[in-house]
Structure 1
């Protein structure tokens, strides 16, 4: 058990949250196959805001930036199960089943699969392991992951183009991407990966475009957005700092005062 809100067996994660909670990870490393048992997930990405309600089942493509908030249902908890479909496993599965290399996937980043009785039954079959704290050994966890892939392909054979696209992001317009995604609190290495560059190449291209190192540019952009949200929109610093990409309120308040000469609470 990792903490009081989450139980993880290998690549299978069960969440049970009593209070509204932001997701910690904003970079989706692996494909995620998930089921919302209770409550809602409010998701924010470059494609806009989406609300995933109780009972919804979906598949989220890897290599994208997403902010999420877990919202408990009325008088209850937020509960979900997520299966992380890791690249090593999918490569082995593709080799074992003689699946040829797939073209680069260019479809929707989130696929809804609610309503399939076989997939719903699959997630129901996982609950006893978490409800009774019964440990899943690695062999059984892999078996359940294999079952998940089989059910996804049964529901929609075209999902093979998403699941088995092992290509990495191609080189894209760095300026446009950064101006759209600067409020995501992820590392420079992850920004480099998402723009199709090595870390060294990202830093070199960044300074050519913006004439400033990425770390300093990110802080300035985030602080300017925070100033606007507080001064023009009337929001509180405690409600803004996470939205604009800072990790904690004290660091945000220190940086804000250093940049603008006043504490955010005095604006």
Structure 2
């Protein structure tokens, strides 16, 4: 069970006893500290492992799958600071940081532990007890402090923090073949490939000669069938991994496509 405390842009998360899996689109940069437990992340290409005491920086406009594992007889705990575009634009103007050209690369950066970062995270701990949430003025100061510390400890981060560009038009075929297993809306896929929804659908059908929805279902079912038959995985293991929202929908679609329930694949 989740017990998050959200102080506008600073979030405390706590999950009890059992692991939690899922996936998400990351709309804003996130600076996080792993207090307890282990977080496993995958961006479709790379795996990342975040253990107790680790700092990580997740870039905006990325797709990620996650698995949150609490420690034995304990809780999964983390703090995340969301650095939205307006906050970063205001900071760049105040401190005279020019906008940076776009750079791609890893979705998640593991940051070297530093006393400044550690002290900053420790300073946030008391705020989770505040009800109602802390004033927006104080939160703004804490966000500004986070950016200043990042620039002090990892100066190369300026080219990521002050990159205000939106996704440009990219190779749709390559992107979809790499990311079909992420369960996000077509509008999100369109945005990440630098297209309007209408243009995305038009370009997609030119390339694949099938609608995006039908293609996604086929690809996800093919991947699930392979994982069950060739890798010996169970339906409950593969439905999230291949982009289905829930087990019942996956089982229904699988049986309709292959004539047999996924649990009966030999």
2:43·2:107 contact (CA, 8 Å) conserved in 1?
A: no
TM-score for the superposition, normalised by structure 2 = 0.94
What's the CA shift for 1:107? 4.6
The 5 Å alignment of 1:184-263 reads: 184-263=182-261
The 5 Å alignment of 1:106-255 reads: 106-131=104-129, 135-255=133-253
Cα distance in 2, alignment partners of residues 11 and 205 from structure 1: 37
- Does 1:88 pair with 2:86? yes
Deviations 1:154-183 (A, max 9, x none): 112221110010111221111111111100
Secondary structure in structure 2 of the residue aligned to 1:196: coil
Cα distance in 2, alignment partners of residues 74 and 114 from structure 1: 26
Cα distance in 2, alignment partners of residues 22 and 107 from structure 1: 24
Q: What residue ranges of structure 1 are gaps of 5+ in the alignment?
A: none
- Divergent runs of 4+, >6 A: none
Q: Cα gap change, 1:4/1:141 in structure 2, threshold over 3 Å: closer, same or farther?
A: same
- Does 1:47 pair with 2:45? yes
2:183·2:244 contact (CA, 8 Å) conserved in 1?
A: yes
Cα distance in 2, alignment partners of residues 236 and 115 from structure 1: 38
Secondary structure in structure 1 of the residue aligned to 2:157: helix
Q: What residue ranges of structure 2 are gaps of 5+ in the alignment?
A: none
1:55·1:114 contact (CA, 8 Å) conserved in 2?
A: no
Deviates more, 1:126-135 or 1:175-184: 126-135
What's the CA shift for 1:78? 0.7
Cα distance in 1, alignment partners of residues 224 and 260 from structure 2: 13
Cα distance in 2, alignment partners of residues 226 and 103 from structure 1: 39
Cα distance in 2, alignment partners of residues 222 and 106 from structure 1: 26
How many matched pairs? 264
Q: Cα gap change, 1:238/1:106 in structure 2, threshold over 3 Å: closer, same or farther?
A: closer
Cα distance in 1, alignment partners of residues 68 and 50 from structure 2: 10
Cα distance in 1, alignment partners of residues 171 and 105 from structure 2: 19
